[in-house]
Structure 1
Amino acid sequence: MAVATRTVGNSHSHVEMLIPCVQEMLSATGASLPDVERICIGVGPGPFTGLRVGIATAVTLGQVLDVPLHGVCTLDVIAAQWMATGGAPQEFVIASDARRKELYWARYSDGRRAGEPQVTDPARLPHEPVAGPGVDVYPELLGERRPADAPCSVDAGFMAANWQSIPDAGLAPLYLRKPDAELPSARKSALNGRHRRMRPARHAVEQAGRPTTIRQATK
């Protein structure tokens, strides 16, 4: 089995760089797209844009090439990497950067995820050994809890080579947050407020149109 990994530092060029990177890696191993037999894709947790681009690309390639897809939680991949070293503790946490002063994280017992991934303030992580890229974001809080052999990032080559041992997470993206932009639940009519503002003027007109009775005082 040939394994090739490529890391792209610019996180704002997903669309432009993803397919060229795939083609370059295949070329480096002497293969091409028609040689692909299966696609393994990380479904998060992560930011909206990156997940949308990655999953949409994987699904499109899967349909074009007529190959099966296997979605995995990226936190599970890092946990599997640590378990593969033989040095992972029985209980541990995997954390990654969620921005907005928060972390994505999940707790593991004997290499198996205990519950669903979370997104919280870093201070709310369980007090157990921690691995993953989230540690580097908050080294003053988590640095002392990362053992020397703990993985610091996702290894895509490991994921590709060991996809069968990583639980299938489906293809639905794990956003864990509500989108920043949402459609309004109901449209507000500008006429309602306008009618309220016009009532005093309308009342004055109606009053002006009414006949006025003038009584003359008798001496």
Structure 2
Amino acid sequence: MSVLLALDTSTTAVTVAVHDGTRTLAERSTLDARRHTEILAPSIRQVAIDADVTPADLDAVAVGVGPGPFTGLRVGIVTAATLGHTLGIPVTGVCSLDAIAHEVLVAGGPADFLVASDARRKEVYWARYAIVEGRAVRQGEPAVAKPADLPQELRGLPTAGRGPVLYPDLFATPLDVLDVSAGALASFATIEQRAGREPLPVRPLYLRQPDAMPAAARKPVLP
């Protein structure tokens, strides 16, 4: 049995799961867009208790690398990297939109669909997916845009994520999957690893500059 800890903080859900290579042993998700730091560590401890595993039992960590807002996203990535370094186990990155798409696939979703998550600033992170040979395959790189700027062809697709909740007039066919599930992320990472596909590096997919930028250096008043 290979024990995988999976976590994601790219959306409003702080989600953590333990997976044994076949199924999810325990999962915990908390909806709170502002308290990722306070929620993540207790969630990791709780799923470990629920799954009856210790840190020494873990063989790997998988983490959602976004796209997502700057502050929340880095909490999960830094935590995953720290755990991997401390325990001496590998850490792999997963596109968070891919994890949502995998859950749509498992739920028996449509053959062609969109994932659109909240990017704030009245924008969404989005990617299009097609079911190919039993996989939800992303059609191109993730992007960020105002929903109204997406072509009608895309907005007319069945759409997972919080985009349809936030912009119901623009996304006509919402799907039930709203946020990343760490269990789905773990399942996706396990399948990709067994198929020999290269994981993403453990680096955040911001797709744009963070909201808070360092102030530019002021020019001296005196010569």
TM exceeding 0.5 = yes
Contact 1:23–1:33 under 8 Å retained in 2: no
Q: In structure 2, which of residues 96, 100, 124 is the aligned counterpart of residue 103 of structure 1?
A: 124
In the superposition, relative to structure 1, how do residues 17 and 170 fare at CA in structure 2: closer, same or farther (>3 Å)? same
Amino acid aligned to 2:190: Q
**1:184 Cα deviation from its structure 2 partner:** 5.7
**1:85 Cα deviation from its structure 2 partner:** 3.0
**1:160 Cα deviation from its structure 2 partner:** 1.6
Identical counterparts, % of pairs: 44
Q: Secondary structure at the match of 1:6?
A: strand
The answer to whether 1:124 aligns with 2:152 is no
The answer to whether 1:159 aligns with 2:159 is no
Q: In structure 1, which of residues 50, 69, 73 is the aligned counterpart of residue 95 of structure 2?
A: 73
User: Which structure dedicates a bigger proportion of its chain to strand?
Assistant: 2
Amino acid aligned to 1:36: L
Query: Which residue in 2 is equivalent to 1:92?
Result: 113
**1:61 Cα deviation from its structure 2 partner:** 0.3
Task: Give ranges in structure 1 of 5+ residues lacking alignment.
Answer: 193-219
Query: Which residue in 2 is equivalent to 1:133?
Result: 162
Query: Which residue in 2 is equivalent to 1:21?
Result: 43
Contact 1:3–1:161 under 8 Å retained in 2: no
Query: Which residue in 1 is equivalent to 2:12?
Result: none
Aligned length: 188
**1:187 Cα deviation from its structure 2 partner:** 4.3
Amino acid aligned to 2:128: R
Amino acid aligned to 1:121: K
Contact 1:41–1:55 under 8 Å retained in 2: yes
**1:25 Cα deviation from its structure 2 partner:** 0.8
**1:3 Cα deviation from its structure 2 partner:** 2.2
Contact 1:103–1:121 under 8 Å retained in 2: yes
In 1, the alpha carbon distance for the partners of 2:160 and 2:33 equals: 22
Task: Give ranges in structure 2 of 5+ residues lacking alignment.
Answer: 1-19
| Superposition TM-score, scaled by structure 2 size | 0.76
User: Which structure dedicates a bigger proportion of its chain to helix?
Assistant: 1
